[in-house]
Structure 1
Amino acid sequence: MTHVDVVGFPEPPAIAGEAETLLGSLERQRATFAWKCADLDEAGLRMSVGTSTMTLGGLLKHLAYLEDVNFTGDLAGAELPQPWQDMERVAEPGWEWRSAADDDAAALYALWEQAIDRSRRAVTDVLLTTGVDTVYTAPDGSLLTLRRLLVDMIEEYARHTGHADLIREAVDGRVGEDPPGVAYPYQVA
Structure 2
Amino acid sequence: MIRSVPYTGSEKDSLYVALDRHRDVVLWKLDGLGDEALRRPATPSGTNLLGLVKHLATVEYGWFCTPFGRESEPFWFDTETEDMTVGPDESTADILAFYARARVAADRAVHETGLDETGTAWDGRVVSMRWVLIHMIEETARHAGHVDIVRELIDGATGDHREISRE
Q: Is the 8 A contact 1:33 1:161 kept in 2?
A: yes
Q: Which residue of 2 aligns with 1:186?
A: none
CA RMSD of aligned residues (A): 1.9
CA distance in 2, matches of 1:116, 1:174: 26
Once the two structures are superposed, residues 36-94 of structure 1 have per-residue CA deviations (whole angstroms, 9 ceiling, x without a partner) of: 1233322011112242410001001000000111112122x134313x2x54xxx3722
Q: How many residues align?
A: 165
CA distance in 1, matches of 2:156, 2:23: 20
How has the CA–CA distance of structure 1 residues 119 and 9 changed in structure 2, closer, same or farther, with 3 Å as cutoff? same
Give 1:175's aligned amino acid: T
Is 1:21 aligned with 2:8? no
Q: Which residue of 2 aligns with 1:4?
A: none
Which structure dedicates a bigger proportion of its chain to helix? 1
Q: State the Cα distance separating 1:153 from its structure 2 match.
A: 0.3
- Choose the corresponding residue for 2:96, options 109, 126, 130: 109
Q: Is the 8 A contact 2:65 2:71 kept in 1?
A: yes
Percent identical across equivalent pairs? Answer: 32
CA distance in 2, matches of 1:10, 1:60: 21
Q: Is the 8 A contact 1:33 1:164 kept in 2?
A: yes
Instruction: Report the secondary structure of 2:122's partner residue.
Output: coil
- Range 163-172 or range 40-49, more displaced: 40-49
Q: Is the 8 A contact 2:72 2:105 kept in 1?
A: no
Once the two structures are superposed, residues 132-161 of structure 1 have per-residue CA deviations (whole angstroms, 9 ceiling, x without a partner) of: 111112233321110100000000011101
Instruction: Give runs of aligned pairs for residues 50-69 of structure 1, distance below 5 A.
Output: 50-69=43-62
TM-score by length of 1: 0.79
Q: Which residue of 1 aligns with 2:37?
A: 44
Give 1:114's aligned amino acid: R
- Choose the corresponding residue for 1:124, options 100, 111, 126: 111
Instruction: Give runs of aligned pairs for residues 1-189 of structure 1, distance below 5 A.
Output: 8-75=1-68, 77-82=69-74, 84=75, 86-87=76-77, 91=78, 93-126=80-113, 131-180=114-163
Structure 1 residue ranges (4+ consecutive) displaced by more than 4 angstroms after TM superposition: none
Give 1:103's aligned amino acid: E
CA distance in 2, matches of 1:36, 1:52: 21
Instruction: Report the secondary structure of 2:162's partner residue.
Output: coil
